[in-house]
Amino acid sequence: MGDSSIADGVNCPVPFSRYDRVQLGHGSGGKMSAALLKERFLPHFSNPALAKLTDAAIVEVAAGRLAVSTDTFVVRPLEFPGGNIGSLAVHGTLNDIAMMGARPRYLSAGFVLEEGLEFEVLDRIIAAMARAAEEAGVPIVAGDTKVVERGKADGVFINTTGIGELDRGFAPAPDLARAGDAVIVSGPIGRHGIAVMAVREGLEFEVEIESDAATLSPLVELLREQVGDAVHVLRDPTRGGVASALNEIAESAGVGVELVEDALPIPGPVRAVCEILGFDPLYVANEGILIAMVEGGSEQNAVAALRAHPLGEEATVVGRVVEAHPGLVAMRTGIGGTRVVDMLPGEQLPRIC
Amino acid sequence: MGDSSIADGVNCPVPFSRYDRVQLGHGSGGKMSAALLKERFLPHFSNPALAKLTDAAIVEVAAGRLAVSTDTFVVRPLEFPGGNIGSLAVHGTLNDIAMMGARPRYLSAGFVLEEGLEFEVLDRIIAAMARAAEEAGVPIVAGDTKVVERGKADGVFINTTGIGELDRGFAPAPDLARAGDAVIVSGPIGRHGIAVMAVREGLEFEVEIESDAATLSPLVELLREQVGDAVHVLRDPTRGGVASALNEIAESAGVGVELVEDALPIPGPVRAVCEILGFDPLYVANEGILIAMVEGGSEQNAVAALRAHPLGEEATVVGRVVEAHPGLVAMRTGIGGTRVVDMLPGEQLPRIC
């Protein structure tokens, strides 16, 4: 504790800014809470709605139909190559909104801080969060901060809830997959999970694998413009990976999915780490790619649309929706066989997002 | 552990329902996550938007202006007289929406579960949450569940984010307090904080003090109907209590507040416990009362409106907004003096909501 020379919250009136770690008093709703907010959060998260600091933010929406998504992030460690829990919390929720075909408009952020968390770490998390939100053009309009005793959380947990606007006419949904649809992935598989896992386990490799965490809205906009209604399903394969996402879609739409193993864009380093650790990259979390199921015949346009953006440069067709084996995902393997790609019962990688 | 006879998640395909505690695998995004959702959450939280289990829920709003509020609940213990963390998480966020003069429409819920949490406890929390949401007529349309290892959380933390609709013409706000306004509280002060504290400290009293946690929207509707624009400010005095809420309003509006000590509705048992423990009831959290600042002359109508509802039966005028000492809250004490009611620097009662 670098702050041992500073009296505890109740007796020390000022300056709060001299603390270098989160104290229980920062969660009190009193002066220390106000100082935490004003010194740590507001400088990064400034926008008119949040700045009012009222019980609720007032925002405007044009459309009558909204997409609402919530996600709590508990990733461990808090920082990893390619991002941290703050940027991840923004990308993850914005992507859930985007996968409904909606345009993300507003975010809220709720923090649970563990007493003793270093402000230096918190500052980096908040900065990354603010940057991700700004790049996506989506303000964080409402926030909340709680503090729990040392040992009652794990540094910081962040909930983000997103609100997006839907237009009629573009509404992809998992149950709209149809036999004949092409299955497209927008980029390399497995990077987020392996990047986090490598840091957690202290693994070092010649090539550092970075998380792919990114906001997918620009890809969705391109698909919408170029192929529109031919996009039946959009899905970001996060926790549980590509395999779980495809299984959920197959079940939801009552269709089968047939993957072609050799078509899957799995980066060499991801494949290598998976082999060493005994993971299957199909179950590893991604935070910056999407799966699109697109009407047969439109796949070349869809792939071209995705490739027009840096995030989609490696977009490719990896399989097809079929009438056979409804609810099941099968894969034609490189050696000519077929195997079922089931959902895992429990976890391959806990606390990955 | 009552589930020692059951193999761990990865090897045991079925039945997941035989677990009696949360396992890490329940947070995996795989079959165990799906089972947790279907067996524990959906039976309570059924509504068309949530039932689709898509990445984001699709909801409809009529108005173009929305109130958005987020709050994470970390109250300890999880259950207390008058409620539990689940009902509190609903009431707390709905009240923040209501305090803007908005009508709560939708809620999201994000859970962080600690490995080992008994399902029996979780079930009671979910049931209370569902009941509170149903009574308020606000569906929980989006949800998320994460699991962290034993010792990395404290049973369960719940984030709720609420969306409400605003009409033009009724928009109370903290900075609208004006000299001459009457300060009204809608009910007895200090019950939530003392109820939680008593359980936490294992204190037993002849009269059990119950948390006041409740949804305040009906009171807001009554005020809106009966006194409308004469309502300048609404505020629920939660964390930090009545004192902190009034200080924030005074600062925000650049006005002074003068309280009359003898007018404060502090229940005898709350007063007694506060004296024993050395707490000031003005700083104790409430979860089922509101502070209203109402144009001078309208206070009798406002009090009558509140008293028409069981939650507002003890509504009363407790003070007045003044031009003098802007930013300060003063109290005329029972013995004829005046004291400043400042904000506390740190916490009086940590983890109260």
Over the stretch B10-39, which tens digit does the pLDDT of each residue have? 444 445 457 899 999 898 878 898 899 999
pLDDT at A17: 56
Across the interface, of B146, B240, B285, the residue whose CB is closest to A72 is: B146
Q: What percent of chain A has pLDDT over 70?
A: 95
Between B117-121, B203-207, B306-310, the lowest mean confidence (pLDDT) is in B203-207
SS3 label, residue B199: helix
Q: Which residue of B has its CA nearest to A16?
A: B345
User: CB of B238 within 8 Å of any CB in chain A?
Assistant: yes
Rounded average pLDDT over A99-109: 96
User: CB of A105 within 8 Å of any CB in chain B?
Assistant: no
Rounded average pLDDT over A329-351: 88
- In order of A132, A164, B189, the CA distances from A46 in angstroms are 14, 20, 34
User: CB of A215 within 8 Å of any CB in chain B?
Assistant: no
Backbone angles phi, psi at A277, to 5 degrees: -90, -5
pLDDT at A10: 43
Q: Which residue of A has its CA nearest to B145?
A: A72
Rounded average pLDDT over B150-158: 97
| Residue in B173, B145, B169, B171 with CA at minimum distance from that of residue B159 | B145
Please provide the average confidence, as pLDDT, over all residues in chain A: 92
pLDDT at residue B63 tops 80: no
pLDDT band at B9 (very low <50, low <70, confident <90, very high): very low
User: CB of A45 within 8 Å of any CB in chain B?
Assistant: no
pLDDT at A347: 67
Q: B99 and A144 in contact by Cβ < 8 A?
A: no
User: CB of A61 within 8 Å of any CB in chain B?
Assistant: yes
**Buried b / exposed e across B159-198, counting CB within 10 Å, b at 16+?**
bbbbbbbbeeebbbbbebbeeebbbbbbbbbbbbbbbbbb
Amino acid present at A34 = A
User: CB of B69 within 8 Å of any CB in chain A?
Assistant: yes
pLDDT at B347: 67
Q: B30 and A71 in contact by Cβ < 8 A?
A: no
To the nearest 10 degrees (0 to 180), the angle between helices B191-200 and B268-277 is 50
Residues in chain A: 353
Q: How far is B140 from chain A (nearest CA, A)?
A: 11
For residues B266 and B281, the answer to whether their CB atoms sit within 8 Å is yes
- What is the token pair recorded at B19? 């677990």
What fold, for B174-340? Phosphoribosyl-aminoimidazole Synthetase; Chain A, domain 2 (3.90.650)
Rounded average pLDDT over A72-99: 97
Across the interface, of A23, A29, A159, the residue whose CB is closest to B72 is: A159
Q: What percent of chain B has pLDDT over 70?
A: 95
pLDDT at B7: 36
Q: Which of A33, A68, A154, A284 to mutate to test the interface with B (most CBs of B within 10 A)?
A: A68
pLDDT at B215: 97
Between A157-161, A279-283, B60-64, B72-76, the lowest mean confidence (pLDDT) is in B60-64
pLDDT at residue A154 tops 50: yes
Over the stretch A168-207, which tens digit does the pLDDT of each residue have? 789 999 999 999 999 999 999 999 999 999 999 888 877 8
Q: A66 and B74 in contact by Cβ < 8 A?
A: no
pLDDT at A4: 34
User: CB of B114 within 8 Å of any CB in chain A?
Assistant: no
Between A98-112, B43-57, B226-240, B252-266, the lowest mean confidence (pLDDT) is in B43-57
Over the stretch A197-252, which tens digit does the pLDDT of each residue have? 999 988 887 788 999 999 999 999 999 999 999 999 999 999 999 999 999 999 99
Q: Which of B6, B14, B28, B103 to mutate to test the interface with A (most CBs of A within 10 A)?
A: B28
Over the stretch A303-328, which tens digit does the pLDDT of each residue have? 999 999 999 999 999 999 999 999 99
May I ask the CATH class of domain A19-56+63-165? alpha beta
pLDDT at A276: 86
Please provide the average confidence, as pLDDT, over all residues in chain B: 92
Q: Which of B1-5, B52-56, B249-253 has the highest mean predicted lDDT (pLDDT)?
A: B249-253
Q: Which residue of A has its CA nearest to B172?
A: A54
User: CB of B176 within 8 Å of any CB in chain A?
Assistant: no
pLDDT at B204: 79
User: CB of B74 within 8 Å of any CB in chain A?
Assistant: yes
Rounded average pLDDT over B209-238: 97
Which chain B residues contact residue A111 at CB under 8 A? 72
Q: B59 and A65 in contact by Cβ < 8 A?
A: yes
User: CB of A52 within 8 Å of any CB in chain B?
Assistant: yes
- 312-351 in B: which are within 8 Å (CB) of A? 343-348, 350-351
Q: Which of B18, B45, B66, B216 to mutate to test the interface with A (most CBs of A within 10 A)?
A: B66
Q: Which residue of B has its CA nearest to A155?
A: B152
Amino acid present at A48 = P
Which chain B residues contact residue A12 at CB under 8 A? 345
**Residue limits of CATH 3.30.1330.10 in chain B:** 19-56+63-165
User: CB of A153 within 8 Å of any CB in chain B?
Assistant: yes
User: CB of A65 within 8 Å of any CB in chain B?
Assistant: yes
pLDDT at B3: 36
pLDDT at residue B136 tops 80: yes
Identify each DSSP E strand in A236-340 by its residue range.
256-260, 291-294, 316-322, 329-332, 338-340
pLDDT at residue B64 tops 60: yes
Across the interface, of B34, B49, B161, the residue whose CB is closest to A70 is: B161
ipTM: 0.92
Across the interface, of A64, A70, A100, the residue whose CB is closest to B109 is: A70
Over the stretch A24-56, which tens digit does the pLDDT of each residue have? 989 887 889 889 999 999 999 988 888 888 888
pLDDT at A313: 98
**Residue limits of CATH 3.90.650.10 in chain B:** 174-340
pLDDT band at A100 (very low <50, low <70, confident <90, very high): very high
Question: How many CB pairs (< 8 A) connect A and B?
Answer: 300
Rounded average pLDDT over B54-64: 85
The DSSP call for residue B328 is -
Q: What percent of chain B has pLDDT over 90?
A: 78
Strand order in the sheet with A329-332: A231-235, A291-294, A182-185, A316-322, A256-260, A329-332, A338-340
SS3 label, residue A353: coil
pLDDT at residue B276 tops 90: no
Q: B66 and A61 in contact by Cβ < 8 A?
A: yes
Q: A97 and B154 in contact by Cβ < 8 A?
A: no
pLDDT at A7: 36
How many alpha carbons fall within 13 Å on the CB side of residue A135? 15
pLDDT at A6: 35
- 276-305 in B: which are within 8 Å (CB) of A? 285
